[in-house]
Amino acid sequence: MRYPLLVFDWDGTLIDSAGAIAIVACIQAACRDLGLPVPDEARASQVIGLGLNDALSYAIPGLAAAEYVRVVESYRSHFLARDPEIPLFPGARAMLAGLRDRGHVLAIATGKSRAGLARALDNTGLRPLFAASRCADQCASKPAPDMLCELMEELGTHAANTLMIGDTVHDLQMAASAGVQAVAVSHGAHPRGDLVALAPLACLENIDELTRWLAQNA
């Protein structure tokens, strides 16, 4: 086993929250609610994986500090209404169970809040598969290396034994900053070309490809 610890991003990697029913639509809806400029889909998608405050500062340039609370409240209201509907990517549940049964330790590094991840794990029933997790309201958000560094310390492993799997440049930059190898999936938020430019070990199109790659290389 080359990588005993496998760390997964959540949104856009395991769960299909990058599409119209979820994060992008909720950012756009919050802006409409408050009469703010509505970012286009490309700009809104680019923030997936960041902590919410960092995401809003990019998606809505020039947003006044006093407006953050109102935008966050509106975004969360829209997202909570959609949260139970957001599906796992096909094959994700079986892949994770197979990796855990093979002996890998699984963890999550996500831009979600702790409460948001807890809801998602309960909605999907995946909580028992993961040994640990880090969220954007616990430590520095991606692309800082803190999430991975804290997970490796908690789980007693090192960078050479850890693999990060994600769908955004933020995931890959975090891995590089932590000295960890990474694999990208291109079915999520960021374009394949942006991911490949950061030289992950592989850039895979879907969960089936990821499952096969991990079986052969992890």
Give catalytic status of residue 54 as yes or no.
no
Report how far residue 144's alpha carbon sits from residue 78's, in angstroms, rounded to the nearest whole number.
Answer: 28
Give the active site residue among 11, 16, 167, 171. Answer: 11
CA-based nearest residue to 177, from 77, 131, 109, 105: 109
DSSP string, 50-113: S-HHHHHHHHSTT--GGGHHHHHHHHHHHHHHHGGGPPBPTTHHHHHHHHHHHT-EEEEE-SS-
b/e per residue 181-215 (b: at least 16 CB within 10 A): bbbbbbbbbbeeeebeebebbebbeebebbbebbe
Give catalytic status of residue 9 as yes or no.
yes
Q: Which residues are catalytic?
A: 9, 11
